[in-house]
Amino acid sequence: MQSLSRFRDPAPSRWAYRKQRLMLTPAFRFFLRAGLPFSVVFLAVAIYLANGDRRATLVEGAAEMRRQIEQRPEFQVRLMAIDGASAGVDEDLREILPLDFPVSSFDLDLEGIRKRAEELDAVASASVRIRSGGVLQLDVVERTPSVVWRGRRGLELLDGEGHRVAALAHRTDRPDLPLLAGDGAEDAVPEALELLSVAGLIEPRIRGILRVGARRWDIVLDRDQRILLPEAGAVAALERVIAMDEVQDLLDRDVTVIDMRNPKRPTLRMGIAAVEAFRDAGLFRHGAN
């Protein structure tokens, strides 16, 4: 039984046909599968974030969450322990590292702390770490002063490399350390220490070592005696003087200056009494040596 009203055109309409063809287009299908969801999400997020207040709320929320985590007791640092520093240095360190304990370990700039600690003259090197139990551990290696230097700014302690360690009020505070003087002496401390190490028997007589013209050393002995050393080969020259002293008791005689600046020809300046005695004995002769 087929009536006219039930007759339906089996042909798709133009738009149905086009829609089917569109749905069979790979690019369009990709757009539906990936492009459309992406753009919808992107649009939604963009609309939500277009409002400044919402953005601020989000940022605040994130910051708040971060702060909450940072302030958990597990991450709190309560005290600082300094190892390897003398009492004065310890005090100085605590002074230059202004930390308000308790502080979160996230807020600590360990590298910065280390750098600031090393800026202190008395500190050779420092290592910083956070120990379990909330302790900021600062391990310090101090510089050991090896000489006293009398420079233009007064007395200073220098270590073996010539680096400043601390200021000194009186020479008598550190009588155990040798005294250096003169401009540029701090740059040649290792050489001075070497000179002292070869001084041997005359060491107790050394009052200090003087840097002359920032290029060579004078060794100043008691009884106003001086040993003038050359720029190069100062140690060898000093050894030679000591050898002469051992053989001929050079330094025990009335000699004011032993000039070794020309290493090939040591020159002596005699004391006045010696010169007179020499003249009285008629020993001066022109060209004599």
**Cis status, amide bond into 175, omega within 30 of 0:** no
* Ramachandran assignment for 84, one of left (phi > 0), alpha (psi -120 to 50 degrees), beta (any other): left
Which CB, 10 or 133, lies closer to other proteins?
Answer: 10
Q: Is 149 exposed, middle or buried (0-12, 13-18, 19+ CB in 10 A)?
A: buried
Under a CB-based contact definition with an 8 Å cutoff, are residues 229 and 258 in contact? no
* Contact indicator for 256, 271 with CB cutoff of 8 Å: yes
The answer to whether residue 12 forms part of the interface with other proteins (CB under 8 A) is yes
Only one of the segments 5-13, 110-118, 236-244, 252-260 lies at the binding site for other proteins (rule: CB under 8 A); that segment is 5-13
In the list 20, 125, 197, 262, the residue contacting other proteins (rule: CB under 8 A) is 20
Q: Does 14 bind other proteins (CB under 8 A)?
A: yes
Cβ proximity to other proteins: between 17 and 106 the closer is: 17
- Given the complex with other proteins, which of 23 and 167 has the nearer CB atom? 23
Cα distances (angstroms) measured from residue 127 to each of 82, 97, 140: 10, 14, 7
- 17 binds other proteins per the rule CB under 8 A: yes
How many residues belong to the site for other proteins (CB under 8 A)? 13
Candidates 21-29, 48-56, 79-87, 202-210; binding stretch for other proteins (CB under 8 A): 21-29
Q: Judged by CB under 8 A, does residue 32 bind other proteins? A: no
Of residues 133, 136, 135, 76, the one with CA closest to residue 106: 76
Out of 9, 222, 249, 280, name the contact with other proteins by CB under 8 A: 9
> Which residues here bind other proteins, judged by CB under 8 A?
1, 9-12, 14, 16-18, 20-21, 24-25
